[in-house]
Structure formats: C-alpha cells, structure tokens
Chains A and B, each alone.
Chain A
Amino acid sequence: MSVLSPVASIGRATLSLLASLGRIAIFAVQVVGHIFRPPFYPREFLSALMQIGWFSLPVVGMTALFTGGALALQIYAGGARYGAEAAVPSITAIGMVRELGPVLGGLMVAARVTSSIAAEIGTMKVTEQIDALVTLSTNPLKYLAVPRVVAAVLVMPILVAVGDSIGIAGGWLVGVNQLGFNSAAYLQNTVNFLEFWDVASGLVKGAAFGFIIALMGVFHGMNSGRGAQGVGAATKSAVVAASVLILAANFLLTRVFFTS
C-alpha cells in the first residue's frame, strides 16, 4: 500500500461528493426550468399538496408542541441562574419562529415525505413505470418532480406557521400550568416581543426546506439502483441528504437574514 493511498482516498471521496453536488444542481435547474412550461398536471399537484401538507400536520404539530414545552422549561431553568425567568415567553417565541419551528418541522417532514417520495419513485423506476411514462409521451420531470417540488415549496411555510403556533402554545401550556406565569401576560409578552421579520424569516426558510425535501426525494428516487436494495439505499440517501442540506441551508439563511 502506497503512503499516498489515504490522500488518494480523500481525493476520490471529494471528487465523488463534488460530482454528486453537480448532478443535484443540474437536476434542480432542470426541475425549476420545467415549473413554468406546460403541460401542467393539476391532479398530481393537488395529490402532492395533500401528501406533503395535510398528512404532515400531525407529526409537525406534535414535534412543535413538545419542543415548545421543553424550550420553556430549559429557558426557565437557565434564566433562573441570573434572574431572567421572565424571558421565557419572548425567548420561547423567538426560538420557535426563527429556528426550531422551521428546522425541526423541515427535518420531520424530510423524514416522512422525502423517504416516501424516494421510495415511491425508486419503485416506479425499478418496475419500469418511469420508462412507461416516457413511452406515453410524458416527461417524468414534469409529471413526477414538478408537482411535488411546487407543492412542497408552497405548503412548507404553512406547516412552519402551524408548527410555530403550536410550539408557542406548548411553551404557554408549560409556562402557565407548571412555571406559574399568568396566561394573559404570557401571551401579551409573546405578541409584543415578536417582530414581522422573526416570523417571515422562518416561513422563507420553510419554503427553502420544502424545495430541498421534495428535490432530494425525487432526485434519489429517479437515480435509484435496481431491486429492493437499490430502492432502500436511495431512500436512505435521500433522507440523509435532505437532512444535511436543511441544516446547511438553515445556517446560510440565518447568516443572510440576521448578520448585518
């Protein structure tokens, strides 16, 4: 074994990563290019809206509820060290709408939706359904990718908004029932503290995460290997890629929005 072998391995891995990123970027450009050109498939779009939006509400809601509650407890415990317990409503609210609502909502929807899209499209690929689409004069990108990506971009901000509200409600429940806050004062404090951009930045993040969630599912599904193992690997890669990209995109967007 050559002494340069580890360097070569790192080089190969780097090149492979860059090639994957390049393929994803080209795929993303192709999908976006198809969004504005007919034919459009409204039925597939509505179906994607239901699958990605409506059916994700329970998981997003439960995640937000428990996160909001835990956040209130942590802020209270931490704030007590220097007499800042009163900051619980405001910090819980800002933490939910700026960060935890969009990020945890995005990760939960990625786990539920990216995996489902990748498995469904991967299975379509290995059972030749995507080839069948082509022979039926239907562009798979337009029929499979565009409706899901557009639906995810539109519906994720709504899911984030719902998650934010439920998360704040979770903090309020804990604050009022366990930490001794006055209900009206807690809510007033929350409303007074939040600014428009606190909420809007989270919704913009949600739209960006929606794009990542659907794109990763479709990309990995369409590039799935053969058989059950191939579909399984594609599903796993899709969820991992979506989760990492959501966290990376969150950092970049936070830097853009709040560093001046």
Chain B
Amino acid sequence: MIELSNVHKKFGSNRVLQGVDLVIPKATSMVIIGGSGTGKSVLLKSVLGLVRPDSGTITLDGQDVTTGDRDAFLARFGMLFQGGALFDSLKVWENVAFRLLRGERKLPKPQAREIAIEKLRRVGLKPETADQFPAELSGGMQKRVGLARAIAAEPEIIFFDEPTTGLDPIMSGVINDLIREIVTEMGATAMTITHDMTSVRAIADNVAMLHGGKIRWTGPVSELDATDDPYVQQFIHGRATGPIESVR
C-alpha cells in the first residue's frame, strides 16, 4: 500500500502540492486526474524520490520511502514515462532489458534478450523490433516499448505518466487495454496520471482528482459520474465554464 500524508512541494513561489493525502491499496489501479500544471507528475515523482517533498510523509507498506535501501525500493517499481524516455543509444531490446542487464540480479545477455523479446511480444510488438533503435519507431511503438521496459522485471508497482498522450484514439485504446490486462495479470499496484477520460474509465479501479495542490475528490471509478463535486463534473465533461478557471 502506498500512503501519502500531508505532502507539500513548492518550486520557488509556486506551491504545487499543498497537503496531499492519498491512499493507494495494494493490487489496485489508482488514476490521478487533474488539469495541466496541477502537479500530477510532481506527485508521482515524489513517490519515486525523483522529487523531494518539502514536508509530509510518503510510505510504501508502512516504510518511509526516503529511508532504507534505495536500490531495493526502486527494484519494486516500473514506470512508463510520458514520452517513453527510451535511451536513444541502445537498441530496443537493450532498453527493455536495461534492468536485467545490470545490478545485483543481472542476467546473462541471451537470457535477458529472450525476456525482452517476450515482453515486446506481450505488448504487441514483433521480435524484429528488438534490434531496431528507438528513433526508428513510431510514437505508439515507442510507448509500447516503454511499457515493455516498465514490466520487464515484473515489478510490484507500476506508474504510468500520461500513457496515451500524443497517440491516436485506436493506439490509445490498445495502450489502455494493455495496461489494464498487465496490471490485472501481474497483480500489480498501479498509479496512472492522465487527463484522458477514456483512459480513466479503462484503467482505473479508483480515481483521485488533484486540484489546487490537494486531492479534491477520490473514490471508485464507478462513482465518478455520480459525484456532485462541481470540479469533478466540470473536468470529466470538459466544460469551459465552472469553478476551474480555463485560463491558468
């Protein structure tokens, strides 16, 4: 279980997180929604330790994420970045097997390559893709390679940062279905940030809306449409008028 308690973070005078409280139960899929610039990525990166909160606590299974063995902590995570964040200088299979080729649980190269190809197949990419470089792939394929890399070491927790941004509706659907299937079959805990409502409905068990630096609303995805919170209603229906200012 991931638990965030009263998490604050500011950059200069910009107070991005202003007391975030959130619980993500084990083996569930939490989707964080909210407008651009509301701090969704900062929240996600705070859990991973890529951003250090100014105050508040973040715990994983009761243990503060800032203490303990950092490598062991990160080994439990997989992450799909918004732009894929694939390493240009490495072949696709080397990207997917990056963690398997290094560190304490390093595997022999042929075995790591085999696992990488299997993961590529899992996300719908042909084995021939393995020897290409990321720059040779389309945006959707890069996203799928990023997804394969995120699941390569079979992590307990997977984070997805805007998984469908920049993709056409069909490819978005493919990625959403893949994420749902993978999270279910691996029994992983998932945290996704997005403002794509189709993704929310496809991926989420629970939804939390981040606005004004705080969690404005949280609950099961089945209750999302029924909530009378005006912020949530404006956001999910994409209305220009409402309590959320359209010019931010």
Spell out A's residues near B (CB within 8 Å): 39, 47, 124, 127-129, 131-132, 134-138
Contact = CB atoms under 8 A, between A and B. Distances in A.
A135 B71 contact: no
Contact of B81 (A47, A131, A137): A131
Contacts of B79: 132, 135
A128 B83 contact: yes
B71 A137 contact: yes
A137 B50 contact: no
B1 interface: no
A131 B80 CA distance: 11
Interface stretch (B96-104, B169-177, B196-204, B233-241): B96-104
A135 B83 contact: no
A170 to B, nearest CB: 36
A135 B50 CA distance: 8
B77 interface: yes
A137 B99 CA distance: 7
A138 B49 CA distance: 13
Interface residues of B, number: 24
Contacts of A39: 102-103
A90 to B, nearest CB: 46
Interface in B42-73: 45, 48-50, 70-71
Contacts of B149: 136
Given A129-B87, A131-B45, A131-B50, A136 B99 contact: yes
A137 B83 contact: no
Contacts of B165: none
B81 A132 contact: yes
B101 to A, nearest CB: 10
B167 to A, nearest CB: 17
Nearest to B77: A135
Chief secondary structure at chain B's binding surface:
loop
A238 B75 CA distance: 34
Interface-centre pick from A39, A47, A132 (highest chain B CB count, 10 A): A132
Given A127-B85, A129-B87, A131-B81, A138 B45 contact: no
Contacts of A137: 70-71, 74-75, 99, 102-103
Nearest to B100: A136
B221 to A, nearest CB: 26
Contacts of B49: 134
B103 A134 contact: no
Contacts of B98: 136, 138
Contacts of A124: 87
Given A39-B102, A39-B103, A128-B81, A135 B48 contact: yes
6 contacts: A47-B89, A131-B85, A132-B85, A134-B49, A135-B50, A135-B77
A52 to B, nearest CB: 15
A131 B45 CA distance: 9
Interface string B87-98: 111000000001
B102 A129 contact: no
A135 B155 CA distance: 11
A47 B88 CA distance: 14
Interface-centre pick from B81, B85, B88 (highest chain A CB count, 10 A): B85
B28 interface: no
